[in-house]
């Protein structure tokens, strides 16, 4: 899967364990699916998952990893990807915008992206098959990019991987049904009924459209005008989300929490977010009893590298290298909340012990005892 700030890669087993501990969990709604790591993990556990995200690239990832059934599409998709891999390089919009005007990719890889994307655009494909092809291309480009994992900037010096040749691979599509939606969160929350909702909203001022504008433009293929050193699509300049605003995030979360049509919730939120832990508990208590488990983990690699000016000069010091991710558990039944929190803690402890055996030390993902209801 693509590199992604806020990815729940290390938390997926604990989230799946949490969802499994609810008395009803056959049908799960992921309201902010992002890369679909969590949604895919839940589908892999045998659940019917509805993955929603309002951004085109994220909805495409969900269509590939959640909606597409490998038993139906794997063979046809493999043939299509092999055919796309034969497309001759043809520099176009992508090469100009992201290899010449900006330096996210080497031009020889940009020319291949252009050729493959134009070929996909020229075909009339079922939504699932198109999504698998686009994800194959997105992930191939991600493997040869020159960033720290976000597209707010590119590296001053080329990353070594950027010199590799772009290579299409078959995404790890799962068997079984699922759904992908491309709606605003409150709209999806009000339309979909499920047993459990997993809610992982943006938590600070940086929008995911701005962080991953290259993927948004690649999937939409609308070839927009761009601006700034990062060459972002102009839509990023005017795009505003309640979840990226310290002033409006409470209202945005209240709307989603009130609209969601699921008896049980698991909510992820970061300690760097616009709301404090006690504020999140206060918002969620309107839906029932609330339990919290905090997980300690490393910040994303860009924060570990440091803060630099556009000309590459280091201009600031990183304040901290570790964060906490809070997992809030919400249900009308206190006993249910207790058992789910205990399942999360047990999962984290088991992973810490397994990591200690593998590496001879703990990996920093220790549970903090839940402190609020």
Q: Does residue 312 register a pLDDT over 80?
A: no
Mean pLDDT of 343-365: 77
* Residue 239 or 214, more confident: 214
Domains contained in the chain, CATH given: 1-68+174-202+244-373 (3.40.50.150), 70-168+211-240 (no CATH)
Query: 373 is written with which tokens?
Result: 């209801």
Question: In Å, how far are 8, 17, 22, 339 from 343, measured between CA atoms?
Answer: 18, 6, 10, 6
Task: Quote the DSSP letter at residue 143.
Answer: T
Task: Say which residue the tokens 């085109």 belong to.
Answer: 56
Q: Does residue 308 register a pLDDT over 60?
A: no
CA angle, residues 276, 185, 30, in degrees to nearest 5: 85
Q: Is residue 352 very low, low, confident or very high in pLDDT (cuts 50, 70, 90)?
A: confident
Q: Does residue 22 register a pLDDT over 80?
A: yes
Question: In Å, how far are 42, 134, 164, 230, 354 from 157, measured between CA atoms?
Answer: 38, 28, 15, 15, 37
Cβ-contact 64, 135 below 8 angstroms: yes
Alpha carbon 371 to its chain's center = 28
Q: Is residue 282 very low, low, confident or very high in pLDDT (cuts 50, 70, 90)?
A: very high
**Per-residue model confidence as pLDDT tens digits over 118-162:** 999 999 999 999 999 999 999 999 999 999 999 999 999 999 999
**Per-residue model confidence as pLDDT tens digits over 188-231:** 999 999 999 999 998 766 788 889 999 999 999 999 999 999 99
Task: Say which residue the tokens 């799962």 belong to.
Answer: 174
Using CA atoms, how far apart are residues 44 and 80, in angstroms rounded to an integer?
24
Q: List Cβ neighbours of 294 (8 Å cut-off, separation of 6 or more).
A: 271, 277, 324, 325, 326, 327, 367, 368, 370
Query: 30 is written with which tokens?
Result: 């992921």
| pLDDT the model gives residue 10 | 85
Using CA atoms, how far apart are residues 235 and 216, in angstroms rounded to an integer?
10
Q: Does residue 238 register a pLDDT over 90?
A: no
Alpha helices, H only, the chain: 12-21, 37-44, 56-62, 70-84, 93-95, 107-122, 127-142, 185-191, 208-211, 213-220, 235-238, 249-259, 277-284, 301-305, 334-359
Q: What is the mean pLDDT of the chain?
A: 90
Q: Is residue 257 very low, low, confident or very high in pLDDT (cuts 50, 70, 90)?
A: very high
Q: Is residue 335 very low, low, confident or very high in pLDDT (cuts 50, 70, 90)?
A: very high
Using CA atoms, how far apart are residues 8 and 49, in angstroms rounded to an integer?
17
Mean pLDDT of 175-197: 98
Q: Does residue 360 register a pLDDT over 90?
A: no
Q: What is the pTM of this model?
A: 0.89
Mean pLDDT of 163-187: 98
Q: Is residue 366 very low, low, confident or very high in pLDDT (cuts 50, 70, 90)?
A: very low
Using CA atoms, how far apart are residues 9 and 38, in angstroms rounded to an integer?
8
Mean pLDDT of 43-70: 98
| pLDDT the model gives residue 139 | 98
Percentage of the chain lying above the pLDDT 70 cut: 88
Q: Does residue 253 register a pLDDT over 70?
A: yes
């Amino acid at each position: 899967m693509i590199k992604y700030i806020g990815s729940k890669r290390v938390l997926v087993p604990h989230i799946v364990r949490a969802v499994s501990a609810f008395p009803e969990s056959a049908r799960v709604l992921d309201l902010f699916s992002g890369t679909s790591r969590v949604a895919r993990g839940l589908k892999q556990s045998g659940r019917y998952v509805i993955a929603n995200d309002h951004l085109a690239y994220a909805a495409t990832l969900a269509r590939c990893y959640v909606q597409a059934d490998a038993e139906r599409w794997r063979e046809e998709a493999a043939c299509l990807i092999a055919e796309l891999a034969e497309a001759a390089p043809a520099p176009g919009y992508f090469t100009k915008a992201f290899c010449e005007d900006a330096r996210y990719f080497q031009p020889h890889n940009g020319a291949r992206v252009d050729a493959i994307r134009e070929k996909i655009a020229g075909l009339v494909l079922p939504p699932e098959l198109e999504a698998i092809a686009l994800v194959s291309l997105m992930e191939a480009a991600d493997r040869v990019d020159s960033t720290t994992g976000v597209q707010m900037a590119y590296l001053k010096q080329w990353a070594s991987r950027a010199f590799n040749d772009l290579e299409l691979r078959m995404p790890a599509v799962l068997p079984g049904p699922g759904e992908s939606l491309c709606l605003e969160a409150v709209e999806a929350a009000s339309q979909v009924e499920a047993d459990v909702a997993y809610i992982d909203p943006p938590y600070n001022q940086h929008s995911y459209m701005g962080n991953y504008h290259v993927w948004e433009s690649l999937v939409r293929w609308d070839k927009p005008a761009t601006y700034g050193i990062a060459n972002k699509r102009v839509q990023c300049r005017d795009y505003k989300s309640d979840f990226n605003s310290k002033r409006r995030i409470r209202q945005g979360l209240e709307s989603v929490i009130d609209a969601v049509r699921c008896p049980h919730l698991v909510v992820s939120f970061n300690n760097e977010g616009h709301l404090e832990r006690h504020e999140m508990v206060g918002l969620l208590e309107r839906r029932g009893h609330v339990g919290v488990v905090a997980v300690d983990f490393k910040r994303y690699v860009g924060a570990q590298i440091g803060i630099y000016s556009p000309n590459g000069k280091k201009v600031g010091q990183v304040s901290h290298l570790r964060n906490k991710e809070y997992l809030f558990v919400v249900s009308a039944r206190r006993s249910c909340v207790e058992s789910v929190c205990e399942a999360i803690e047990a999962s984290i402890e088991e992973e810490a012990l397994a990591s200690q055996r593998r590496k001879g030390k703990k990996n920093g993902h220790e549970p903090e005892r839940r402190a609020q209801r």
